[in-house]
Amino acid sequence: MAKSEKIKLLALDVDGVLTDGGLFIGAEGESAKKFHAQDGMGITCALRNGLLIALITGRQSKIVASRAAELNVTEVYQGVKNKAQLLTTLAEKHGLTLEEVAYMGDDLNDLPALVLAGLSCAPQNAVKEVKERVHYIAAASGGNGAVREIIEVILRARGLWKQIVADYIKEGQGDSQ
C-alpha cells in the first residue's frame, strides 16, 4: 500500500482498537482492560524503528497510562474530545504533514481524525460507517492483533520488516509485550 510508505506517526484509539472494546467494571467502580501481547510487540518494533506511536482516547484510565509506560509510549492523550484537532497538533509538533500520519479508530467519534489522516485504518470489528471511510481494514479485530497488523503493513512498506525479524532471530530479542 503506497500510502503506508510515507507514515512516520501512527495514532491509535484505545477502546476497540488496542482493546476489544469490552469494559470490565467491578462493584467498587474499578475497571480492567485486556490488551494483546502481539499488539505490544508491534508497538515495540515500531518505536525501535523510528515509527512514532500516539495513544488517543476519549476516556480517562490509569490502565491506559500503565500500558503505555510499559511499552515506552510517551505520546498518551486521555479525555480527548476532539481527536482530529489533536491529530493536527501532533503532526505539527513532530514537523509532519497529515499525509505522514496514520490513525486507527473503530467508532463514530474517530471519524473526524480518520478523514484527516494520510492513512486511515480500522480493526475488523469497527462500525460500518468507519469501515466505509478508511483506506485499510485489518483482518484482525481490536484487542486481537489489529494494531500489530497495521504496524507490520507500515514497516513492510518502508522495507524494514525483514530486517526486524532477522534482528530478533540474531539477537534473541525475546522480550514479551
**Would you list which residues are annotated within the binding site?**
13, 15, 106
Are 145 and 39 contacting, i.e. CB atoms less than 8 angstroms apart? yes
State the binding site for substrate. Answer: 15
Distance, in Å, from the CA atom of 89 to the CA atom of 85, rounded to the nearest integer, reads: 6
**Residues of each annotated binding site for Mg(2+):** 13, 106
Q: At residue 25, what are phi and psi to the nearest 5 degrees?
A: -125, 120
Beta carbons of 133 and 111 less than 8 angstroms apart = yes
Residue 136 in grid coordinates = 485499510
DSSP character at residue 21 = S
Closest C-alpha to 132, from 151, 155, 114: 114
SS3 126: coil
Query: Cα separations (Å) of 93 from 55, 98, 172?
Result: 15, 12, 35
